[in-house]
Structure 1
């Protein structure tokens, strides 16, 4: 069914690997170079912010975006995939909220002003827009009461806004880790490229690469999940691949 199946597998496996390595690098950063993890209003509490953002707002959100594209899930009903898609987004949002609480707690405990940097402005906007996207998606696509015509009309907006939020989160993360290094590294300074700076710069490259791979997978029309009736045919496994391909072409033409 899927065109360029091997190419899809390559991009997906590469993207998943880059995302997992990003999490490992973020964890190594906060455990080895920073003060570890804790919840006492100190630096260890702040460290939950970059770690949970990488895990939730970047990795889980990216997987949620491309989960429909996995051909191994095409035998599942579309309603089930909608639940998985929404569940991953909700989990990502919960982790993002915890990370935001951690950074506000840290700032308040240390008398550091909140919401003064571009990183914080863009990040808070993404955190606010994200649940709006989730609620709209559940109301329109998960609850089966919205007319099909309305669903079809809103789908381009749903896809665009989802990718826009994801790209905004990637940009916010890159700004945030750079800001943290500039403020934290004094002797040697960030400009002297100490090992911590090199590690975190690598983390930034990994985050950008993961974002690029997710957007590439999500925007390839050849890797789009087939219509529900075609997917059901796959599940029943009663039709030859040639007949399925013909049916798909006819559906597309129609």
Structure 2
């Protein structure tokens, strides 16, 4: 066989090998995407279910919502905390992976808007909690339970996370080096704060069940209902924390990600 024929055969074999590797990588990426979508769908379904369960609990067992009655005002606290600091916050953290092929500018702004909505919900929820104590007859003390301590620390860290993220990634003028250096810190603390929110919510549910449900140890319907909410909360937290920490699902950097928000050529 001539050298030209041998080279041609080797070239064809190399192309076949490259094609085979590409097909294998494409299949692996397809399976990874399917697995992520399945888990994200489960997490989203659990989040929506949890919000509906909290709403149902407040309406059926806690007489609904209001601003004049301290007891009814308190119900805004679990409703808005679960909606904002758990469900919306989880979706904000996952947005870069659920919209893998979206423009970075759009993803950044969506991420920030979702955080802002969660922040507003959290502020209102805190006001509802403090008002329900301060305007009760007689007034109740504030910040004496472990739930209130961990919850307040979580809110403070979340607020700092939101502010530092806005300044670092949206504020014009910061260098790419600063943003790249801070990104792992931002991602790590985002996951940690979400974990703290789950823990705080679990403690809040436990406190409310023990102190607010009559004969909790006799398995009343409200107690069982609240326990079920706690199970959903744990499952949601476990899946979300897995999805945001598994590097397999990390969004692949695109060339346009290097363009800053202030660049008008995008």
> Taking structure 2 as the reference length, what is the TM-score of the superposition?
0.82
Q: CA shift at 1:83, angstroms? A: 0.5
1:108-147 alignment to 2 at 5 Å? 108-110=134-136, 111-147=139-175
Asked if structure 2 preserves the Cα contact closer than 8 Å seen for 1:37 and 1:45, the reply is yes
Asked if structure 2 preserves the Cα contact closer than 8 Å seen for 1:75 and 1:231, the reply is no
Q: Which residue of 1 aligns with 2:237?
A: 211
Counterpart-to-counterpart distance in 1, 2:79 and 2:118: 12
1:168-179 alignment to 2 at 5 Å? 168-179=196-207
1:78 aligns with 2:104: yes
Q: Choose the corresponding residue for 2:45, options 10, 17, 23.
A: 17
Counterpart-to-counterpart distance in 2, 1:59 and 1:158: 19
Asked if structure 1 preserves the Cα contact closer than 8 Å seen for 2:73 and 2:128, the reply is yes
Off by >4 Å, runs of 4+ in structure 1? none
Per-residue CA distance 1:98-149 (angstroms, 9 max, x = gap): 0110111110111010000000001011111111101111111122422222
Q: Which residue of 2 aligns with 1:49?
A: 77
Aligned residues: 228
1:167 aligns with 2:195: yes
1:195 aligns with 2:221: yes
Q: Which residue of 2 aligns with 1:244?
A: none
Q: Which residue of 2 aligns with 1:88?
A: 114
* Root mean square deviation of aligned Cα: 1.6
Counterpart-to-counterpart distance in 2, 1:76 and 1:84: 11
Asked if structure 2 preserves the Cα contact closer than 8 Å seen for 1:64 and 1:89, the reply is yes
Per-residue CA distance 1:220-250 (angstroms, 9 max, x = gap): 2121112121789xxxxxxxxxxxxxxxxxx
Q: Which has the higher contact order (CA 8 A, sep 6+)?
A: 1
Q: Which residue of 2 aligns with 1:28?
A: 56
Aligned to 2:204, the other structure's residue is in SS state helix
Counterpart-to-counterpart distance in 2, 1:136 and 1:126: 15
Counterpart-to-counterpart distance in 1, 2:224 and 2:72: 21
- Give the unaligned 5+ runs of structure 2: 1-25, 259-266
Q: CA shift at 1:10, angstroms? A: 0.6
Instruction: Please say which structure displays the higher CA radius of gyration.
Output: 2
> Taking structure 1 as the reference length, what is the TM-score of the superposition?
0.86
Aligned to 2:59, the other structure's residue is in SS state helix
Aligned to 2:174, the other structure's residue is in SS state coil
